[in-house]
A and B are shown apart, each in its own frame.
Chain A
Amino acid sequence: EVQLVESGGGLVQPGGSLRLSCSASGFTFSSYWMSWVRQAPGKGLEWVASIKEEGGKEYYVDSVKGRFTISRDSAKTSLYLQMNSLRAEDSAVYYCARPMYYDILSGLGPLDSWGQGTLVTVSS
């Protein structure tokens, strides 16, 4: 059974930093792209970032480029999101999720496994 467990959320002041972690199990972690998706309170889903199977290729939503960094450690089967220069609008539940596939023609596939999410609150 695929399991994704996020951690690292919490309360941080504007301009501060936070590192989210996602521990993966139940599948061959190094064979899948991985993604972060967030959801602000009462709002819709927003994709944040994705990273290639062994790293080396990343995509980010424009609003976090230059501030957030996605990374992974295959030995620890873990995904990370380093968040710097945090803003109030970054407050959200952050989900770790696994794309079903990556295809050269279709791109990144649907997210077929999700963690339970970790809450990030940016406030003074």
Chain B
Amino acid sequence: SYVLTQPPSVSVAPGKTASITCGGNNIGSKSVHWYQQKPGQAPVLVVYDDSDRPSGIPERFSGSNSGNAATLTISRVEAGDGADYYCQVWDSSSDSDPYVFGTGTKVTVL
């Protein structure tokens, strides 16, 4: 089945930019979605279809996707952005496990 690899952790100072990568074979040919999850809460969709934002999500959250890596970028990081972030794709080439989540990245705001 398709594998999405993320760095386990990313640390960033307030006001700076955090970048979270999501690696997968030819992921640039797929639509990538990103979720934010805070402790004890359900995940929240923050970016979908590579770079679109749901209503209510700040413009500070942006995404890109090309080649073998997708990236979620959080600009002007705030303390409240500290959370776990997961990428996700639909792997249409797989009859099993088509709905794939990445391994997750814990973002720590210093």
Contact = CB atoms under 8 A, between A and B. Distances in A.
Interface of A: 35, 37, 44-47, 50, 59, 61-62, 65, 95, 100, 106-112, 114-117
A112 B99 contact: no
Interface stretch (B18-26, B65-73, B75-83, B84-92): B84-92
Nearest to A48: B99
A107 B97 contact: no
Nearest to A49: B99
Interface of B: 1, 31, 33, 35, 37, 42-45, 48-49, 54, 84, 86, 88, 90-92, 96-104
Q: For chain A, what secondary structure do more than half of its interface residues adopt (helix, strand, loop), or is it mixed?
A: strand
Contacts of B49: 109-110
Contacts of B43: 45, 95, 111, 114
A95 B45 contact: no
